[in-house]
Amino acid sequence: MELRRVAPTALDLSLSRLRQLPEGAVRRKEESLRSKGQLSPLAAASSEGRLVLVDGFLRQLAAVRLGLESVLVEVVELSPTQMKAQVYLRNRERGLRLIEECRLVRELVEVDRLSQVEVGDVLERHKSWVCRRLSLSREVSAHLLEDLSLGLLGEGSLRKLAQLPARNQEELWAVCQRDGLGSKEVRALAELWLRAPDPESRRYLLAHPREALRLAGGAEPTSEDPRLGKAGRDLLGSLLTLRRIALRVTSRVGEGLGELPPEALAQLEKVTQRADADCRAALDAVAARLRAAGGAS
């Protein structure tokens, strides 16, 4: 190992593709360099007459912006694969972002042609850690990965959305952005999508995400209210199910029915009349029983 004074613009930044350099972090590093100076050397590997930066990308960019003539660099001898590994190993305490770990693991597998076990060895991580990040980088929509890199999507939300097919990931994320859902809501909506019993239910989630979340969030705690008793909990569960079905029917009808022959229209009209009568009778019975119970108390 040796230390050199090197112009920050002279460093090879080819590995910067594996890192994220948020503007806020760069500005904080600028302020630190301005007020305290360089506290620790950057790290670079000597390769064919070039110094390939492996650690200190924020400091390098901050130094360039400040117009510093030189920075202190620790020069080490590394193979191309070891260079990439050092990007991770030298940041273990602070930790890389999930998107950075995914990029690194995928490059080591697909570009450097390492097995998952070999990647685990060079990064000093278990194979399962490598497998999870490789799967995430391959299964998540490229659009979502881009939003993650821009800070528009949280890591927890990404992990949950990754459980959906790629096309549905983008579809659900677009709905979450449209309605301004927070991270917890994104994860909850993805869970509802995964548990939805049929395509109609999923269409309803996409059309009315906040209402779906409200219904799902309100059903469980209320139905467990010990004051209700078993009969009350059963009734409440049935009423909530009835409301969900009513909302689903409304959403489905709003999408149109297409061209239907007269016999199909007659069948639907007949069933609609029966459903109307049965639902009205059920709700009237509930209302009457509640009035009676209220009068008795």
pLDDT band for 230, please (50, 70, 90 cuts): confident
Residue 118 has a pLDDT of 97
Which of the 8 DSSP states describes residue 10?
G
Residue 243 has a pLDDT of 77
Dihedral sign (CA 283, 195, 216, 186)? negative
Is residue 226 pLDDT above 90, yes or no?
no
Mean pLDDT confidence for 85-105: 91
Q: Which residue has the tokens 């492996």?
A: 54
CB 185 within 8 A of CB 175: no
Count of other CB atoms within 10 angstroms of residue 210? 12
Is residue 248 pLDDT above 60, yes or no?
yes
Count of other CB atoms within 10 angstroms of residue 19? 19
Residue 252 has a pLDDT of 67
Residue 110 has a pLDDT of 95
CA-nearest of 250, 253, 244 to 196 is: 244
Dihedral sign (CA 194, 200, 206, 209)? negative
Mean pLDDT confidence for 90-99: 87
Measured CA to CA, the distance from residue 166 to residue 135 in angstroms comes to 13
Task: Give all strands of the β-sheet with 50-55 in edge-to-edge order.
Answer: 2-6, 71-76, 42-47, 50-55
Of 51-55, 151-155, 231-235, 281-285, the one with minimum mean pLDDT is 231-235
Strands (E) across the chain are located at: 2-6, 42-47, 50-55, 71-76
Strands 50-55 and 42-47: antiparallel
* Residue length of the chain: 297
Q: Which two tokens stand for residue 275?
A: 């459903």
Measured CA to CA, the distance from residue 21 to residue 70 in angstroms comes to 21
Q: Which residue has the tokens 């007949």?
A: 270
Dihedral sign (CA 63, 68, 72, 74)? positive
Three-class secondary structure of residue 3 per DSSP: strand
Residue 145 has a pLDDT of 86
Give residue limits of the domains in the chain: 1-95
In angstroms, how far apart are the furthest CA atoms of the chain? 93
Residue 251 has a pLDDT of 61
CB 87 within 8 A of CB 97: no
Residue 273 has a pLDDT of 92
Residue 257 has a pLDDT of 75
pLDDT band for 20, please (50, 70, 90 cuts): confident
Burial class (CB in 10 A: 0-12, 13-18, 19+), 1: exposed
pLDDT band for 220, please (50, 70, 90 cuts): very low
pLDDT band for 161, please (50, 70, 90 cuts): very high
pLDDT band for 197, please (50, 70, 90 cuts): confident
CB 8 within 8 A of CB 63: yes
74 forms bridges with which residues in the sheet? 3, 43
The listed range with the strongest mean pLDDT (3-17, 147-161, 218-232) is 3-17
Mean pLDDT confidence for 66-78: 96
Mean pLDDT confidence for 9-38: 94
| Greater model confidence, 232 or 85 | 85
What class is the 1-95 domain?
alpha beta
pLDDT band for 228, please (50, 70, 90 cuts): low
Measured CA to CA, the distance from residue 220 to residue 238 in angstroms comes to 12
Dihedral sign (CA 138, 139, 143, 148)? negative
Of 24-33, 193-202, 245-254, 274-283, the one with minimum mean pLDDT is 245-254
